[in-house]
A and B are shown apart, each in its own frame.
Chain A
Amino acid sequence: MARCSHSERLIPLLYDGALDNALRYEVAFQVADCPVCTRRMNVIERIQEVLCQTLEEEVARLDFSDFWTSVERRLAAPPHSVWSRVSSRLRLWRLQWQPIFSWNGPVWATATALLIFVAVILTRPPVPRRAGSVPPENPPVMLALNNQAQIASLSATSAVFVWNEPTSNATVIWVDGGPGGELP
């Protein structure tokens, strides 16, 4: 069987009206001049004809007499179950948010980055004061319940007294450089 490159690729497109003007005219002339292309075009038209006829016959066989009665019966039926209502709402919600779900990668990544950036800014600790600077006002001091220190080692070149201050049990290390040492 003779073959033509036009008949393989372009004639189905010509039949579907998918070619632009210049190419459509060129292919139409080709179909008129080339017997292979003419035959191909005829085959396509015949297939389409048979397909339409088959569909019409199938549709004609369908019985629509009970259609509206069924619709009325469904409308009069009791309310749907909870699950069906939830699933309907979920479907609606999904349709409503479809534009956001369809964001592409860079948009999601940028949005995530912005969220992380804002979270970091909000959770960062305050900038520490410069050494030696006196704060404008005293922040509330939080003291431990028991301030007693556990001393692992202690050495000194002069007399040292160690005791616990009675109010908060804070440990006091008293270093006295004077002769003999002196307690307050």
Chain B
Amino acid sequence: MKRCYWIFPPPVIIGLLLLASSAGADDMINLRVETVLATDTSHEFDSRLTGMRSQLLAFRYSAYRLVQEERRKVGFGKQANFSLPGGRFLQVVPKEYANGKIALHVMLMEGTSPSPLMSTLLSIPNRGMLFVGGQKHQGGTLIIRIGASTDAFPAAIIPTEE
């Protein structure tokens, strides 16, 4: 009886499926949302914020404290929802990647109001960042740094002091 030698065994199929899944995982956007409470009540600077010290000092507050940090990995068109201190709500939706920039839809909501406090559609460079601030909280002001990056596409980058 003639045997058929070239039928793919299950390990090959599993391997190909894993390969496909790992290739698909690269088309994700890494979101990093850091919420900083800036006040003028002291001169304390949170050591976890060393990497953005120079950027924060431009806001001219005297004290900065990291109150929340979240990282998410989301696909294009998928919502990433972040609950912020004080009952606020941040929604980030990666829209597309074009010309080295990641397009994001950023929406900031407060309380139970159906209309967002702020809604914007913008593009930032891969591994770039954006600051959203101004909300009062516990005698200070919240400053939110939103970072977006992806490994699926090349980016012109420089290391920071962190």
Contacts of A172 in B (CB 8 A): 130-133
Q: What is the bound-complex CA distance between A155 and B118, given in angstroms?
A: 6
Contacting pair A177 B134 (CB below 8 A)? yes
Contacting pair A113 B12 (CB below 8 A)? yes
Most buried by B among A114, A149, A152: A149
**A175 lies within 8 A of chain B by Cβ:** yes
Contacting pair B133 A143 (CB below 8 A)? no
- Map CB proximity to A onto B84-126 as digits: 1 under 8 Å, 0 otherwise: 0000000000000000010100001010010111111111111
Nearest CB in chain A: distance from B77 CB, A: 16
* Given contacts A174-B134, A184-B141, A125 and B160 within 8 Å (CB-CB): no
Q: What is the bound-complex CA distance between A168 and B73, given in angstroms?
A: 24
**B136 lies within 8 A of chain A by Cβ:** yes
Nearest CB in chain A: distance from B3 CB, A: 8
Nearest CB in chain B: distance from A163 CB, A: 10
Q: What is the bound-complex CA distance between A140 and B22, given in angstroms?
A: 24
The contact of A109 among B6, B131, B151, by CB within 8 Å, is: B6
Contacting pair B133 A174 (CB below 8 A)? yes
The contact of B22 among A123, A146, A174, by CB within 8 Å, is: A123
Contacts of A178 in B (CB 8 A): 136
**A132 lies within 8 A of chain B by Cβ:** yes
Q: What is the bound-complex CA distance between A82 and B97, given in angstroms?
A: 55
**A153 lies within 8 A of chain B by Cβ:** yes
**B44 lies within 8 A of chain A by Cβ:** no
* Given contacts A142-B127, A143-B129, A177 and B117 within 8 Å (CB-CB): yes
Most buried by A among B72, B116, B124: B124
Contacts of B16 in A (CB 8 A): 116
Q: What is the bound-complex CA distance between A149 and B122, given in angstroms?
A: 6
Q: What is the bound-complex CA distance between A74 and B81, given in angstroms?
A: 84
Contacting pair B15 A116 (CB below 8 A)? yes
Contacts of B130 in A (CB 8 A): 147, 149, 170-173
- Map CB proximity to A onto B1-40 as digits: 1 under 8 Å, 0 otherwise: 0000110110110111011001001100000000000100
* Given contacts A170-B131, A175-B117, A177-B110, A144 and B125 within 8 Å (CB-CB): yes
Contacts of B38 in A (CB 8 A): 184
- Map CB proximity to B onto A149-184 as digits: 1 under 8 Å, 0 otherwise: 111111111101100011110111111111000001
The contact of B128 among A131, A132, A149, A154, by CB within 8 Å, is: A149
* Given contacts A117-B18, A143-B158, A144-B157, A151 and B73 within 8 Å (CB-CB): no
Nearest CB in chain A: distance from B154 CB, A: 12
**B135 lies within 8 A of chain A by Cβ:** yes
**A141 lies within 8 A of chain B by Cβ:** yes
Contacting pair A125 B59 (CB below 8 A)? no
Q: A112-B12, A147-B128, A172-B133 are in contact. List 11 more A-B contacts (CB 8 A).
A: A104-B5, A109-B6, A110-B11, A113-B15, A134-B69, A144-B125, A152-B120, A154-B120, A154-B122, A155-B119, A177-B110
A-B contact pairs, 24 of them (CB 8 A): A105-B6, A116-B15, A120-B19, A131-B72, A142-B160, A143-B157, A145-B156, A145-B157, A146-B128, A147-B124, A149-B122, A149-B123, A150-B101, A150-B122, A152-B103, A154-B121, A155-B120, A165-B55, A173-B120, A173-B131, A173-B133, A176-B134, A178-B136, A184-B133
